[in-house]
Amino acid sequence: MKEHELRPFLSEPELERLRRSIEEYKPGSEHQKPDGTTEGEDGAVSLQYWPDRSDISIPNLDLGWPDCNSYRGVTRVNVYTQPPVDGQTHIKEVVRKAIAQAQKMIAVVMDVFTDVDIFKDLIEAGFKKKVAIYIIIDYAALQHFLLMCERANMHKGHLNHLRVRCIGGSEFYTHSAQKVHGSLSQKFMFVDGDRAVSGSYSFTWTASRLDRNIITVLTGQAVETFDKQFRELYLNSRGVNLTKIPLADPPEPDPVPIAVPSPVPVTVARKLMNPKYALVNVDAASKASSDKAKGENVSSSTYGCNKNV
């Protein structure tokens, strides 16, 4: 900046942050695959133009994603603060209630996520109700998130409906083959394709109890922006392997409840225990069998007469 006589447009905290994030830029490394190959090396990709495949990349949301091509309804907005005002619900309880009401999927984008209570609500919703759980975390806070996962007493069954990925901010490349990148500062939760919770609230204990925060709960057509934004972030993010976390065996499924017959009324029980009632039952059964035999004889004789005629 001094060399090119530029005015000092960066503050000291910003300069220190940029110095810490400087990396050597290697062209092609952003397309590197886990197996060491890069895109376009397999030779099976055709150069022919396919509009339905090449215009828009589709993220691999393998747990399912609600189809929301139709109108989502009138937009409604509710605002909550921390500390609560005018008897409002606490912002953490607003988030936990939205998780408990989810039926299809929950998508979370968070800069810092270390609140064990909210995380356990998410994984239990995935395990018990088969709700698809997607979480995107900032690179810088990923290690803290993994430490929180170890404290959550997770088991292998929780991973079946959970996908975690990480991403950073935008990147800037210099002429000296270096790059700097920003951070993920977005904080929102997208539920069932028709509800979104967004604001300054990070999923941490201090943010819910000590810091001053504000969140907005939106329903209706306005949530379409969160739908598109999450899918774009998911497409550009990297997967996080949770199998290295200590995981217990999944619990045994709850036994199927056995239907218990309704209790016999006292009056009926007394009749069953009375010998006279037993004799009546025997007489009634014998009478019914004799009536049935007579009916069969009549029908057979009638059939014989018709045959002779």
Q: Does a structural domain hold residue 297?
A: no
**CA 184, CA 170: separation in Å to the nearest integer?**
9
Q: Does a structural domain hold residue 128?
A: yes
**CA 110, CA 201: separation in Å to the nearest integer?**
9
Q: What is the pLDDT of residue 273?
A: 64
Average pLDDT on 193-200 reads 96
Q: In Å, what is the CA distance from 37 to each residue of 30, 33, 46, 47? A: 11, 5, 17, 19
Q: Does a structural domain hold residue 270?
A: no
Instruction: Name the percent of the chain lying above pLDDT 90.
Output: 51
* Bigger pLDDT: 157 vs 34: 157
Q: Does a structural domain hold residue 3?
A: no
Of 51-55, 150-154, 277-281, 305-309, the one with minimum mean pLDDT is: 305-309
pLDDT, tens digit, for every residue of 224-247? Answer: 999 999 999 999 999 999 988 999
**CA 173, CA 193: separation in Å to the nearest integer?**
36
Q: Does a structural domain hold residue 249?
A: no
Average pLDDT on 72-99 reads 94
List Cβ neighbours of 246 (8 Å cut-off, separation of 6 or more): 150
Q: Does a structural domain hold residue 235?
A: yes
Average pLDDT on 182-203 reads 95
Whether 297 has a pLDDT exceeding 60, the answer reads: no
Q: What is the pLDDT of residue 276?
A: 58
Contact 155, 242 (CB under 8 A): no
Average pLDDT on 23-43 reads 52
**CA 215, CA 221: separation in Å to the nearest integer?**
18
Contact 170, 176 (CB under 8 A): no
Q: Does a structural domain hold residue 126?
A: yes
Q: Is 180 strand, coil or helix? A: strand
For residue 36, name the pLDDT band (cuts at 50, 70, 90).
Answer: very low
- What's the total number of domains in the chain? 1
Q: Name the residue range of residue 163's domain.
A: 56-239
Whether 301 has a pLDDT exceeding 60, the answer reads: no
For residue 305, name the pLDDT band (cuts at 50, 70, 90).
Answer: very low
Verdict on whether the full-model pTM lies above 0.85: no
pLDDT, tens digit, for every residue of 10-19? Answer: 888 888 877 7
List Cβ neighbours of 303 (8 Å cut-off, separation of 6 or more): none
Task: List 78's β-bridge partners, or say none.
Answer: 217
Closest CA to 104 of 151, 54, 162, 65: 65
Q: Does a structural domain hold residue 165?
A: yes
pLDDT, tens digit, for every residue of 153-185? Answer: 999 999 999 999 999 988 787 777 778 888 899
CATH number of 173's domain = 3.30.870.10
For residue 221, name the pLDDT band (cuts at 50, 70, 90).
Answer: very high
Whether 147 has a pLDDT exceeding 80, the answer reads: yes
Whether 251 has a pLDDT exceeding 80, the answer reads: yes
pLDDT, tens digit, for every residue of 114-144? Answer: 999 999 999 999 999 999 999 999 999 999 9
| Length in residues, the chain | 309
